[in-house]
C-alpha cells in the first residue's frame, strides 16, 4: 500500500470521527435543551391565568375563586388530588374534583360535593362526616336523618379524616355499619365508647342490640337479621348477642326473656 492510499484512509477515518463527534454533540445538545424546556414547562412556563368552576351546590364560583388560589400554578403540575387536599380545610364539602386543561393557560374545575354520611358524638358535639370519614362540620344540635356514632377517643378537625386513637374501634364501627346495611337493617346509632362492648339502636329505636366484643360481628348481624324476621312487629326491646359464638349461636330478646336460636 503506497503512502497516498494510507493518507487517504487516515483522512477518511478522521472525517468519520469528526462526524461522530458532531452527532454526539448534537444529540447531547437536544437532550439538554429538552430537559431545560421540560424544567421550564413545569416551573416558569404555562402559569394558569384563567380558572372556571362548576358543579358545586354548596359553594359559589366566586367563593371558590377567592379561596382556592389556583391561578399562578403551573398547568401541568396542578392535579385534582392536589386541589382537593389543599382546599378541604377551607372547603370541607368538596368531595371529588375533575380538571380539564386548555393550553396554554386555562383550567376548568368540576366539583362534586361531599354528602353527609353520619354524625360522631364526642365531647358534647356532633361532627358530621362523609362516607370516607372526612369531617364536614361540627354542631351542638342533634342532626336529623343521620346515623349517630358515639366514640370515646378520637380527633376531629374540619376538612380532615377522623383520627382514631385505636384503629380497632374504627374497624369495628365500619363492620357494624357495613353488615347492618347489607342485611337491610336500618341503623339509628352505634355506641363505640367501650371497645369491649359495642351496641346499636336499630329500626327507629325499636331494638337496642348488644354485640359485646368485636368478634364475629358479621355472623352476629346475620343471626340478628334472622331473629328480627321471627319477632312480631309490635314487639320491641333489647337483643343480647354478647354470648353468641359459632358453638352457641344464640341471641336473647330481653323484653320477653325468650331465647331465640
* pLDDT tens-digit readout, 88-104: 999 999 999 999 999 88
CA distance 216 to 187: 19
| DSSP SS3 for 254 | coil
CA distance 154 to 136: 16
CA distance 42 to 24: 27
Q: What cell does 16 get?
A: 468519520
Cβ neighbours of residue 133 under 8 Å, at least 6 residues apart?
161, 162, 170
Bridge partners of residue 200, in order along the sequence = 190, 209
143, 129 Cβ separation under 8 angstroms: no
- pLDDT for the residue 87: 93
246, 218 Cβ separation under 8 angstroms: no
239, 251 Cβ separation under 8 angstroms: yes
Which backbone phi and psi does 111 adopt, to 5 degrees?
Answer: -110, 135
| DSSP SS3 for 186 | coil
Closest CA to 216 of 176, 166, 174: 176
- pLDDT for the residue 137: 96
User: What stretches in the chain show pLDDT beneath 70?
Assistant: 1-45, 256-261
C-alpha angle 71/94/64, rounded to 5°?
Answer: 35
**Continuous H helices in 197-259:** 217-230
Amino acid at each position: 500500500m503506497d503512502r497516498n492510499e494510507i493518507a487517504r484512509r487516515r483522512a477518511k477515518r478522521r472525517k468519520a470521527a469528526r462526524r461522530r463527534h458532531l452527532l454526539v454533540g448534537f444529540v447531547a445538545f437536544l437532550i439538554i435543551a429538552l430537559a431545560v424546556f421540560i424544567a421550564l414547562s413545569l416551573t416558569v412556563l404555562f402559569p394558569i391565568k384563567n380558572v372556571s368552576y362548576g358543579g358545586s351546590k354548596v359553594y359559589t364560583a366566586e367563593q371558590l375563586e377567592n379561596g382556592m388560589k389556583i391561578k399562578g400554578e403551573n398547568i401541568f403540575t396542578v392535579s385534582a388530588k392536589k386541589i382537593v387536599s389543599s382546599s378541604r380545610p377551607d372547603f370541607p364539602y368538596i368531595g371529588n374534583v375533575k380538571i380539564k386543561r386548555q393550553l396554554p393557560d386555562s383550567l376548568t374545575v368540576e366539583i362534586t360535593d361531599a354528602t353527609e354520611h353520619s354524625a360522631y358524638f364526642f365531647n358534647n358535639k356532633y361532627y358530621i362526616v362523609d362516607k370516607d370519614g372526612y369531617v364536614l362540620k361540627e354542631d351542638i344540635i342533634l342532626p336529623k336523618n343521620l346515623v349517630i356514632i358515639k366514640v370515646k377517643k378520637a380527633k376531629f378537625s374540619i376538612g380532615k379524616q377522623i383520627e382514631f386513637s385505636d384503629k380497632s374501634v374504627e374497624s369495628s364501627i365500619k363492620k357494624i355499619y357495613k353488615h347492618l346495611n347489607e342485611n337491610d337493617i336500618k341503623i339509628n346509632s352505634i355506641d363505640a365508647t367501650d371497645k369491649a362492648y359495642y351496641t346499636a339502636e336499630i329500626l327507629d329505636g325499636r331494638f337496642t342490640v348488644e354485640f359485646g366484643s368485636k368478634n364475629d360481628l358479621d355472623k352476629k348481624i346475620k343471626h340478628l337479621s334472622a331473629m328480627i324476621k321471627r319477632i312480631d312487629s309490635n314487639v320491641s326491646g333489647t337483643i343480647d348477642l354478647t354470648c353468641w359464638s359459632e358453638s352457641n349461636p344464640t341471641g336473647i330478646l330481653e323484653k320477653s326473656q325468650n331465647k331465640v336460636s
